[in-house]
Amino acid sequence: MKNFENNKDFESIKHMDENGVEFWYARELQGVLDYKEWRKFENVIKKAKKSCQNSGNTVLEHFVGADKTIAMPKGAKKSIEDYKLTRYACYLIAQNADARKKVVALAQTYFAIQTRKQEISEKDYHLLTEDEKRFYQRNLTKKGNYSLNQIAKKAGVKNFDKFHNSGYKGLYNGETADDIAKRKGLRYREDILDNMGSDELASNLFRISQTEQKLKKDEIHTEKLANEAHYEVGSKIRKTIKELGGTMPEDLPTPKKSLKELND
């Protein structure tokens, strides 16, 4: 059996669909949870589905069929059952799995915490701690950046570092991502978004969403115009913050711990 002393194993089998939504394959989760036979793991899935139904959630939204065809000896093929699982589905599976397995106990804790951090509803936002708000906003920026990149690619963007820096320059009065990282005192290649407070993340999320809308609305199809549009959106958001008497993004405090540190 593998050594599951951290959460990397659960993250390493995570996938993202075309819309930037995360999911896990049941067959891969089976291996991580140390179930040798699909038959036994399928019984756990059935219990998890029942728990999902009893909690008032739609089973098909969290357990999506993903049957596969695999190659067999002598050119034969075989269809095997699989599922695409949401984080909540993984949590329910962990809750219904064999608690005597050390890795199952780790999974229960991991998916419970992550479900709370990343799938919190809007109506509960005001009840969150600052760090929980950061996790929530960071999750939205990840999905937003993924979606923005898809639209930017269609608009002709090839140099994504330059494209994203255009947005940062507009919002941060000329600062690039590297400039922001240096000002925050971060290590090389440390994620700047993981080191922002909830207000700063919210400003960046607004920049991301509005840039995506502008690229689509203005039907931009050149890299130069896409970069200019991103800079323009960032600049206008900065101007609005100033007019409202808000704190400029670069003047907002950097949290003592990054989200990566909090997640470890």
CA distance 212 to 144: 9
CA distance 189 to 1: 33
Contact between residue 57 and residue 88 where contact means Cβ atoms under 8 Å apart = yes
Angle at 132 between CA 199 and CA 169, to 5 degrees: 30
**What is the arithmetic mean of pLDDT over 70-74?**
72
Contact between residue 80 and residue 70 where contact means Cβ atoms under 8 Å apart = yes
Q: What's the predicted TM-score (pTM) here?
A: 0.58
Angle at 23 between CA 19 and CA 26, to 5 degrees: 145
63-65 and 22-25 strand pairing: unpaired
For residue 186, what pLDDT is reported? Answer: 95
Pairwise pLDDT comparison (121 vs 233), residue with the higher score:
233
pLDDT band at 8 (very low <50, low <70, confident <90, very high): low
Is pLDDT of 48 > 60?
Answer: yes
Q: What separation, in Å, do the N-terminal and C-terminal C-alpha atoms of the chain show? A: 22
pLDDT band at 127 (very low <50, low <70, confident <90, very high): confident
pLDDT band at 4 (very low <50, low <70, confident <90, very high): very low
Query: Among residues of the chain, what percentage have pLDDT more than 70?
Result: 91
Is pLDDT of 72 > 90?
Answer: no
Beta pairing partners, 78: 70
Nearest one of 64, 57, 51 to 24, comparing CA atoms: 64
**What is the arithmetic mean of pLDDT over 51-69?**
88
Model confidence over 14-28: pLDDT tens digits? 898 877 788 999 999
Angle between helices 38-54 and 87-96 (to 10 degrees): 110
For residue 116, what pLDDT is reported? Answer: 60
Model confidence over 154-164: pLDDT tens digits? 999 999 999 99
Tokens standing for residue 93: 């599976």
For residue 124, what pLDDT is reported? Answer: 67
Contact between residue 119 and residue 87 where contact means Cβ atoms under 8 Å apart = yes
Is pLDDT of 256 > 60?
Answer: yes
For residue 251, what pLDDT is reported? Answer: 97
Pairwise pLDDT comparison (69 vs 192), residue with the higher score:
192
Model confidence over 88-126: pLDDT tens digits? 899 899 989 988 888 887 888 777 766 665 555 555 677
